[in-house]
Structure 1
């Protein structure tokens, strides 16, 4: 009676391991540096929230005559819901706007993590008196 052997040869197993090693060597560098992308996305998210908050604040001010006074980029922080700004690591310029009510102002939001490099994003603040 003839026995049929089933399984993989040592060469086939080594080739699979080599191919997996090559794939891992190519894929790992793409995942290692995700922290800088995450930091940039975080700053862009906060900047987007500030732009939206400023627009909603201006609409409220235009409709009701009440709202948060936005006369600088830093003052736009108060337009976030509940006035809850993420942390002191986020900064925006405190220079007052010299534009009339309803004017749009481009502001730069900076995020400087402890021991890291600063990341910036731009948002639009709408002036209210």
Structure 2
């Protein structure tokens, strides 16, 4: 009988309270380090998305300006930054506003940001065309 009791006691061993507390503390430290880094990467990604959308709008406006040269009816009339934003695909959560409206043949300054204003707006140039 003594042999079977010692086997039963060995099978019931588990983690001590100290070991569990140490594991919880380690997980807490890792979470405290990882969460700020994740938020930092998230803001960087949003800023990069703004820059990419701004580049797409600026490029589309430049192409549109080239199409409209010489009185051509190709392309679209661009007299505001919001009109230039219609030339490119911009995510619906981004808002484009005029800082200085573009005029025919002159660059205007535009700002793009998220509708929630999560991060600082990105400013870019657009060439106007109203021929």
For 1:79, what is the secondary structure of its paired residue?
A: coil
Task: From 51, 62, 84, give the equivalent of 2:58.
Answer: 51
Task: From 107, 111, 116, give the equivalent of 2:110.
Answer: 107
Per the alignment, residue 69 of structure 2 pairs with: 62
Q: Give the number of aligned pairs.
A: 100
Alpha-carbon separation, structure 1, partners of 2:86 and 2:77 = 9
TM-align CA RMSD: 2.8
Kept in 1, the 8 Å contact 2:54–2:124? The answer is yes
Q: What's the TM-score once normalised by structure 2's chain length?
A: 0.62
Task: From 43, 47, 61, give the equivalent of 1:40.
Answer: 47
In structure 2, stretches of 5+ residues that fail to align are 1-25
Question: Is the radius of gyration larger for structure 1 or structure 2?
Answer: 2
Structure with a larger share of its residues in helix: 2
- The answer to which of 119-128 and 27-36 deviates more is 27-36
Alpha-carbon separation, structure 2, partners of 1:46 and 1:63 = 28
For 1:33, what is the secondary structure of its paired residue?
A: helix
Kept in 2, the 8 Å contact 1:110–1:119? The answer is yes
How far apart are 1:79 and its partner, in Å? 1.5
For 1:93, what is the secondary structure of its paired residue?
A: strand
Shift in alpha-carbon separation, 1:94–1:107, aligned structure 2, 3 A: closer
In structure 1, stretches of 5+ residues that fail to align are 1-20
Alpha-carbon separation, structure 1, partners of 2:61 and 2:39 = 36
Shift in alpha-carbon separation, 1:85–1:118, aligned structure 2, 3 A: same
Shift in alpha-carbon separation, 1:56–1:117, aligned structure 2, 3 A: same
Alpha-carbon separation, structure 1, partners of 2:59 and 2:126 = 9
